[in-house]
Structure 1
Amino acid sequence: MTDSARELDLVVYGATGFVGKLLADYLARTAPEDVRIGLAGRSQAKLESVRSSLGPRAAQWPVIVANSDDPQSLADLAARTRVVATTVGPYAKYGHGLVAACAEAGTDYADLTGEVLFARDSIDANHDKARETGARIVHSCGFDSIPSDIGVHVLHEAVQADGAGELTDTTLVVTSLRGGVSGGTIDSLRTQVDVSKKDSALRRLAASPYSLSPDRSQEPDLGKQSDVSVVNGKDIAPELEGWKAPFVMASYNTRVVRRSNALRKWAYGREFKYREVMSVGKSPVSPVIAGAVAAGLGGLVLGLSVPPTRYLLDRVLPAPGEGPSEDAQRKGHFTIDIYTTTTTGTRYTARVKAQGDPGYRATAVMLGESALSLVLGGDALPDAAGVLTPATALGDVLVTRLRDAGLEISARKL
């Protein structure tokens, strides 16, 4: 997307929400002075209030009133800017209209969704139109699924640079994590539970390991690829101690990474098998803890499916728009390590590490840099359009920007 004749380069949609404010603040502090930024949402008064809190850099940013249930306002928004970054979820409830408007207008788009069914619907509805207009529609540009997708991207590049074959068994391990539970993520889970429990076909689609792939019939048969397995660390890499629990976002992130592989004509490999887990320590009771985590994740989904427990969970889980304190955001962090063995038998690892609450402060950095990659990347971006993934839409442009923003992103042979 290179239409510099448009009034704005980048619009933050949802700028009055919790994460939207973090994103707007990040851009006010770090975006180049010549990037033309606007703030959009439902309330002009609230938008003006947010703008006034951002300091002199944002004083002249336009505010744009647009509503998810007003298609014309979304079309007008998309037509005014080169890029839209949206934090308004759950995307299954509020996101379809904006994606369609951007695809129609040839406007690049980035969001934070972690919703399989929304992403699948978006692919089906918008991929062809976005390819026609040249729009890059990039879902999942926050903690879901930048570390996963970009981490595997740099791992693949390291293997290719060494001529070491293709990726086979690949496992992401959340080595350390500190951060609050996102109210938006919980609300997205609620929405997907509500939709899928009414339709067995949607449940099967959400459960398919290739639910986001361009053509599921072309994917290799690699046997069972479970997102809820408890795994012995030694089965991932000889140096890993302790058992590993399922990672809460594995059922989404894994499908994004597999879509990247398919969009690249299976460049990672036709034998590429991918899973995500998280560390629960190295003690002798780690298998018990890992099993308890797996049971707890299953219990959360079941609880949200049953009205009595849903009522109780809704009273204790964070609501959309809520988030941790500034101090808690600052103290948050994550370290993710990815391990693979190639078709030549060589072992590699990649690391993605950041300071800041993963779902809030670090996510604002990742979404902000994704949006700026679309604005500033130009011909350095991959030659692609349609409904894409962070790796296939942004590639090394985003890697460089994230490194410059303070994230550690690396890969090496073991």
Structure 2
Amino acid sequence: MSGESNTETNSNDNQSAAGSHGREFDVVVYGATGFVGEITARYLADHAPIGTKVALAGRNESKLTQVRERLPLRARDWPLIVADSNSPAALDAMVARTQVVCTTVGPYLKYGEALVVAAATAGTDYVDLTGEVPFVRYSIDKAHDTAVASGSRIVHSCGFDSVPSDITTYALYKKVAEDGAGEMTDTTLVVKSMRGGLSGGTIDSMRVIADEAKNSQARRLMLNPQALSGGPGEVPRVSLSDEPSDLSIINAKKVDPSLSGTLAPFFMAAHNTRIVRRSNALLDNAYGSNFHYAETMNVGGVPALSTLAAGAVAVGTGAFMGAMSFGPTRRLLDRVLPKPGDGPSEKSRNSGYFVVETFTRTTTGRRYRSQMRAQGDPGYKATAVMLAESALALALDRDRLPARTGVLTTAAAMGDALIDRLRDAGFTIDATELG
């Protein structure tokens, strides 16, 4: 198909021609039979530019056929690729056929290692939904140099973990630089409001992380605030006190005078913060020489009540991970928590939403806020949009992407191109100076 000339464009007036990269496909959705995989495939069927070459992949051809039959008519001629995560040869063959592999097959520590190496070796771009620090560290150590040599972009955490965190911080950086306002210093994301649930896949990743944490070496890695900031084999040795705690209870006015009450820890901070710090490292510390980053969650503006709520969230977060690590309570939780492949109804997914705001102070004393808001359950519908648009940015917007290759982040790999795509998809993303 490399000889075909496809000239349809998207709403960004994208001039990249599908198929012009010499691969059979622009995007392969790997894990299309999973809950989020099917939602992602449906989004592509509804919104990818005409002429975009998409294939569905997984380990079971019968299930892939059933998924394809449930998708819009446009997807009925999408090819199916059978590839098991335990078959390196099948993965090698799959990634060699596509410009971008978009994978929802997790937990990634269990199922993702061979695929990320295969993509890096083949010069194939890669996006996933991992929220697993040890997996990203593995990817850096095992695949970064290979990806640089082959011209591959390996981009992790392209869903609710960690696009809002990464892109709102990047948007702040762009605005501060545009205004000549100095460098960013203390920067804090606040989950202002959200409606939605954790996916079964996210819960399964938490199970794997809890098991990993029993190993002292893995535990030290996950506690390191700069665990993902170094290159292959380079994990900076830093003190926990060098960055805000992932379980901090923070006076909201210390984040910004416009806020009130007490802010609780955000349960995905331990992953998101490290992705944002990796972006800063990949951008040659452009955010600032004294840049520090934390994540929190709004639990109300009344000081006394929000303080109690924030304390309860902090205790509950720690207790939950402890329960996941302890056999008897783990078995009890497994009975009630969502299973991989489970998810809410379409009505529930559509009624969800999220609003996050990220605040920073600069070295010149100026204050800024960026915001991202979107309709759709953060862990399902909104995540599928973010993942699919990340894949399309890599496949179709290549003339707009930075020249960086290797194991990257959404900000470092796509930046402005992804912001434009998400805005066109209905997301609100902005950055403003505060008075």
Distance 1:221 1:289 in 2: 25
Distance 1:165 1:239 in 2: 21
Distance 1:4 1:256 in 2: 29
Gaps of 5+ in 2: 1-15
Distance 1:247 1:55 in 2: 37
Letter in 2 for 1:202: A
Q: Secondary structure at the match of 2:77?
A: coil
Aligned match of 1:335: 355
CA contact (8 A) 1:222 1:273 kept: no
Question: How much has 1:413 moved relative to structure 2?
Answer: 0.4
For 1:243-254, what aligned pairs fall within 5 Å after superposition?
243-254=262-273
Aligned match of 1:404: 424
Matched, 1:52 2:69: yes
Question: How much has 1:301 moved relative to structure 2?
Answer: 0.6
For 1:137-286, what aligned pairs fall within 5 Å after superposition?
137-197=154-214, 199-214=215-230, 215-217=234-236, 223-283=242-302, 284-286=304-306
Letter in 2 for 1:249: M
CA distance change for structure 1 residues 220 and 293 in 2, over 3 Å: closer, same or farther? closer
Distance 2:236 2:43 in 1: 42
Letter in 2 for 1:209: P
Question: How much has 1:139 moved relative to structure 2?
Answer: 0.3
Question: How much has 1:224 moved relative to structure 2?
Answer: 4.4
CA contact (8 A) 1:171 1:277 kept: yes
Deviations 1:26-78 (A, max 9, x none): 00000011110000001111111111111221111100000000110000000
Question: How much has 1:201 moved relative to structure 2?
Answer: 1.4
CA distance change for structure 1 residues 114 and 221 in 2, over 3 Å: closer, same or farther? closer
Aligned match of 1:135: 152
Deviations 1:355-397 (A, max 9, x none): 0000000000000000000011112101110000000001100
Distance 1:397 1:115 in 2: 25
CA contact (8 A) 1:220 1:270 kept: no
Deviations 1:305-352 (A, max 9, x none): 111111111111111111111111011000000000001110000001
Letter in 1 for 2:285: W
Q: Secondary structure at the match of 1:350?
A: strand
Letter in 2 for 1:381: L
CA distance change for structure 1 residues 184 and 155 in 2, over 3 Å: closer, same or farther? same
Question: How much has 1:5 moved relative to structure 2?
Answer: 1.7
Matched, 1:392 2:412: yes
Question: How much has 1:217 moved relative to structure 2?
Answer: 3.6
Question: How much has 1:216 moved relative to structure 2?
Answer: 4.2
Question: How much has 1:219 moved relative to structure 2?
Answer: 7.6
**Count of residues in Structure 1 that have an aligned counterpart in Structure 2:** 413
Deviations 1:161-185 (A, max 9, x none): 0000110000000000100121111
Gaps of 5+ in 1: none
CA contact (8 A) 1:353 1:409 kept: yes
Aligned match of 1:100: 117
Distance 1:222 1:89 in 2: 32
Aligned match of 2:12: none
Distance 2:236 2:211 in 1: 28
Matched, 1:289 2:305: no
CA distance change for structure 1 residues 89 and 221 in 2, over 3 Å: closer, same or farther? closer
CA contact (8 A) 2:48 2:392 kept: yes
CA contact (8 A) 1:89 1:113 kept: yes
Deviations 1:65-107 (A, max 9, x none): 0000011000000001111000000000000011011000000
CA contact (8 A) 2:224 2:239 kept: no
Aligned match of 2:25: 8
Distance 1:25 1:224 in 2: 40
Moved more, 382-391 or 281-290: 281-290
Q: Secondary structure at the match of 2:116?
A: helix
CA distance change for structure 1 residues 220 and 302 in 2, over 3 Å: closer, same or farther? closer
Distance 1:63 1:406 in 2: 30
What's the % identity of the aligned pairs? 56
Letter in 2 for 1:274: Y
Match of 2:392 among 372, 379, 383: 372
TM-score (ref. length: structure 1) = 0.98
Match of 2:41 among 17, 21, 24: 24
Matched, 1:82 2:99: yes
Matched, 1:381 2:401: yes
Match of 2:57 among 22, 40, 48: 40
Distance 2:416 2:113 in 1: 28
Distance 1:129 1:78 in 2: 15
Distance 2:300 2:141 in 1: 41
For 1:292-371, what aligned pairs fall within 5 Å after superposition?
292-371=312-391
Distance 2:221 2:239 in 1: 17
Question: How much has 1:196 moved relative to structure 2?
Answer: 2.1
Letter in 1 for 2:314: A
